[in-house]
Amino acid sequence: MKTISTAKAHGGIQGVYSHHATSTACEMTFAVFTPPVAEGRKAPVLWYLSGLTCTHQNVMDKGEYRRLAAELGVIVVCPDTSPRGEGVPDEKDSWQFGCGAGFYLDATQAPFSANYRMYTYVTDELPALLAEEFPQADMERQGIFGHSMGGHGALTIALKHPDRFRSCSAFAPIVHPSTAHWSIDAFTKYLGEDRNAWREYDAVSLIEDGKRFPELLVDQGAADGFLDDGLQPWLLEKACADAGIPLTLTMRDGYDHSYFFISTFMDDHLRWHAERLKA
């Protein structure tokens, strides 16, 4: 692991790091905020997955999480959204596919299957590196949340790993990418034409197929321009109701899809996770 930068913030350390990832076959960058903790003490880990076109940097600059994360004593980990670099296949004219749009899945279709393995990276390789390099990280207390494509990732990962994560929430998640206009093309290129294979990376489909999580928290801007074509939170609401999964879905009047929306309700989500990540 290489240290790119560190800066003190609210008594803790905001660091940016990189390493060569075997799962994505390229150099990956990620951010970790470690709160001030007493020597010998461990802090719970909260994963934040970013959305389309983003990197680890967006939430660092605009998410406004450090003050409260320091107060609550929570480590916040922000991975990148996709593999990057020379040799990584990309479609530079599409913001919904390729670099910046990994969709937190393991691609099965060439040429993308060699690098686009973000599911394995986020659930396996990066947690192992975190446990090795950050001894203050309590890997027995983990939560996960994210925005848009990252909300999709958080929901699907939590549903498939309820034994690992104590909490899961999302800002404006893509809840049913198999039917969302802005994700169908990416799923086809990453996973092929067989839509049964898509169900492994689709929150609504996973719930329909029997996956469960104790409870979910979702905030959605009512003025979000992507609401009807991409996000469709009512589909998650129905799936959770049918499955008996407690879901707190709040439509925020006047809010859009931006980080103005995310930063407004970031404290609510941090407190919600911290309560569930108590020792």
pLDDT digits (tens, 9 = 90+) for 19-28: 999 999 999 9
Write out pLDDT tens, residues 33-46: 999 986 779 999 99
DSSP state of 41: -
224 is catalytic: yes
pLDDT recorded at residue 182: 85
- Whether 163 sits among the annotated catalytic residues: the reply is no
pLDDT at 39: 74
Coil, strand, or helix at residue 72? helix
CA atoms 194, 174, 54, 139: torsion sign: negative
Is residue 98 scored above 90 in pLDDT? no
Q: Is the pLDDT of residue 167 over 90?
A: yes
The stretch 230-242 carries a mean pLDDT of 97
**pLDDT, average across residues 118-146:** 97
Q: From the candidates 50, 82, 148, 167, which is the catalytic residue? A: 148
Cross-strand bridge partners of residue 6: 15
What pLDDT does residue 104 have? 98
- Alpha carbons 186 and 156: distance in angstroms, whole number: 16
What percent of the chain has pLDDT above 70?
A: 99
Kindly name the residue from 167, 224, 269, 273 that is annotated as catalytic.
Answer: 224
pLDDT band at residue 121 using 50, 70 and 90 as cut-offs: very high
CA angle 26, 126, 180 (to 5 degrees): 80
Which position among 56, 147, 257, 273 bears the catalytic label? 257
Q: What is the mean pLDDT of residues 195-214?
A: 98
CA-closest candidate to residue 27, choices 75, 77, 79:
79
Domains of the chain: 2-277 (3.40.50.1820)
| pLDDT for 208 beyond 90 | yes
Q: Which alpha helices (DSSP H) does the chain contain, by range?
A: 57-62, 66-72, 118-120, 126-133, 149-160, 181-191, 203-208, 233-243, 259-276
Give the pLDDT mean for 197-213: 98
What pLDDT shows up at residue 40? 77
109-113, 138-142, 178-182, 244-248 — which is least confidently predicted? Answer: 178-182
User: pTM of the full predicted structure?
Assistant: 0.96
b/e map 160-186, b = 16+ CB within 10 Å:
beeeebbbbbbbbbbbbbbbbebbeeb
Q: Are 108 and 191 in contact (CB under 8 A)?
A: yes
What is the model's pLDDT at position 90?
87
- Note if 205 is an active site residue: no
Closest CA to 170 of 127, 205, 204, 121: 204
Q: Cα dihedral sign for 132, 30, 78, 173? A: negative
Burial tier of 254 (Cβ tally within 10 Å: 0-12, 13-18, 19+):
exposed
